[in-house]
Amino acid sequence: MNVSSCYEAAGAFAYGTLKAKSNPDAPGRTASDVMTDLERSSCPGAGACGGMYTANTMATAIEAMGLTLPGSSSYPALSPGKARECERAAEVIKTTMEKDIRPRDLLTRESFENALVITMILGGSTNGVLHFLAMANTAEVKLTLEDVDRVSNKTPFLADLAPSGKYLMEDLYKIGGTPSVLKMLIAAGLINGNIPTVTGKTLAENVANWPSLPQDQAIIRPLSNPIKESGHIRVLRGNFAPDGAVAKITGKEGLSFTGKARVFNKEHELDTALSKGEIPRNESLVLIVRYEGPKGGPGMPEQLKASAAIIGAGLKNIALVTDGRYSGASHGFIVSLSFVFFPLESYPVVINLDILRKNRLDTSRLKLRSEGPLPWLRMVILSSLTPLKIALISRMLLMTSWRREGRIGNLPSPRCEGVLWRSTLGLWATLAMAL
């Protein structure tokens, strides 16, 4: 069991597809019994989520950047290896102080390239892109979505790891862990082994004595037989994402998707629709979740519940797009626009998505079906009604006073002007209610 299994089971339960593995629906083996068993058995141990989710994506990437000890990202939390690593950390701290090795010495263009390569090889989370861009910005290293796209185009996807695959990080640890993968990639010229690391040695020196991957292992495909010839993280452009968006496409979802857009204002609205079974199976839909991004979150909470429920329910006619970010455990046809900080005010209101056609994210002119009002616009209009009314009344009183004093003339009568401004207020209020 892992974290995404729980949410996938919830989706299967909502759509009536959750069954016991044997003797389904027998007494004690109903869908409700299965859910109860899952709740009691979920996430029983220490450590990060077991798949190539956000935590393991960042851990493997940071190890490939030379910022952690060899093996750090793949040791199970309670293993003897992790305990030994903790003891070695003191030695490394001493080394970094003696040699004056600082984080910015290791956060280089070459190390970020390594991070991108290992993320593509292992099928890591799109959140890695978000974090790499932020890290590079802080370290004053130029890194853009174009770099992500370039590395993805030249790097094969090799790892059969969750969420898209069947193995977990502990399985990778048993065949040599991250250092064995890095050793293979350095030999193949895909990873730069000459970068400095916290140990005072190069990355290649750190992994030189590590065992090579076993010939008969099935977790990491050979370079000659990849799961996908290019990376799973795709950078999209188009009139819906003029500054770029990021999609996680492992290959099993297909390479294009066209469907009618259906919009939800916050993830919980989509969660509710899924729990009620309101998303149909017989219609291709692009479900858009907005107001979860940098300006609307707040805090850009990662989204997993909806995407996992869709997988669990077996809804293969769905693509997901958000202005926020997805959990590393999410998989399926998912696109995030958070990487370019897409402003809420720029959202088009008339769209139909045609995504992933030659790395495009475009819209047609069909009308968008909205699941609710445009709350931010409605709020602005409603909040402006009272001060607008006060301003208009004040103007009417001032105009009347000036008219009596003969200071102005050739203006509509107070009665006509009152009708005019009342009509303006009425139209403004009607617009707010229509939204």
Among 34-38, 65-69, 250-254, top mean pLDDT goes to 65-69
Report the pLDDT value the prediction gives residue 396, as an integer from 0 to 100. Answer: 56
DSSP letter for 302, please: E
CA atoms within 13 A on the CB side of 397: 6
By the 8 A CB rule, do 259 and 286 touch? yes
What mean pLDDT do residues 146-156 have? 95
By the 8 A CB rule, do 412 and 424 touch? no
DSSP letter for 67, please: -
Residue of 5, 72, 307, 327 marked active site: 327
Read off the tokens for 153: 């185009």
Report the distance separating Cα 119 and Cα 163, nearest Å: 14
- Give me the chain's average pLDDT, please: 79
Q: Does residue 235 sit in helix, strand or coil?
A: strand
Report the pLDDT value the prediction gives residue 222, as an integer from 0 to 100. Answer: 96
**146, 321, 357, 347: which is closest to 248 by C-alpha?**
321
Q: Specify the pairing of strand 353-355 against strand 361-363.
A: antiparallel
**91, 59, 63, 56: which is closest to 203 by C-alpha?**
63
Beta-bridge partners for 362:
354
Asked if the model's pLDDT at residue 424 lies above 60, the reply is: no
Report the distance separating Cα 336 and Cα 355, nearest Å: 12
By the 8 A CB rule, do 73 and 60 touch? yes
**pLDDT band of 394, cuts 50, 70, 90:** low
Catalytic annotation present for 72: no
**pLDDT band of 90, cuts 50, 70, 90:** very high
Asked if the model's pLDDT at residue 322 lies above 50, the reply is: yes
Taking the whole predicted model, whether its pTM rises above 0.85 is answered as no
Contacts of 118 (CB under 8 A, 6+ apart): 60, 61, 64, 124, 178, 181, 182, 185, 191
